[in-house]
Structure 1
Amino acid sequence: MLETLVLYIAGERVELRSLPFGDLAVYHRPDEHVRALVEPVCRNRGYWNNKYNNWIVFRQFRAAVVSELEAEADHV
């Protein structure tokens, strides 16, 4: 089970963290370019959490979101 995965997308750190009930938190610092890549992957698969400024992805979409964000990650 994924605990925390750190990816770099457009040069910015994006954290994917497991939550207790199987959902996935996706966080990155405010950056419009990164948001434009991350938001479409997460939208309609969870919700935006204003309190923590992150996406909460429902557990049934975890694998797809992780895979799609890994595909967007910088490969150096």
Structure 2
Amino acid sequence: MFKRIFWLGLGVTAGVVLVTKAEAYVRANTPKRAREFILGEDQDQVASRTLAGLVRQFTQTMQERQDELDRRYLDRFQG
């Protein structure tokens, strides 16, 4: 269990760092119009939008997996 939490935390941290670094690179090396196309009009909230998207995707995947497990095993325990 500890390994899973560790690797999940490491993956989330790496994702946030990579997105932040990529965003900084794009801001420094692209013209304004290209930045707006890539990052959107609200460029100050890219990191928080990305993190919210990651959390939303994780939650959705977790719920799908839970539903799959419920379908597979719940009928065994209901008698």
Superposition TM-score, scaled by structure 1 size: 0.31
Determine which structure has more spread, i.e. the larger CA radius of gyration.
2
Superposition TM-score, scaled by structure 2 size: 0.30
Higher strand share: 1
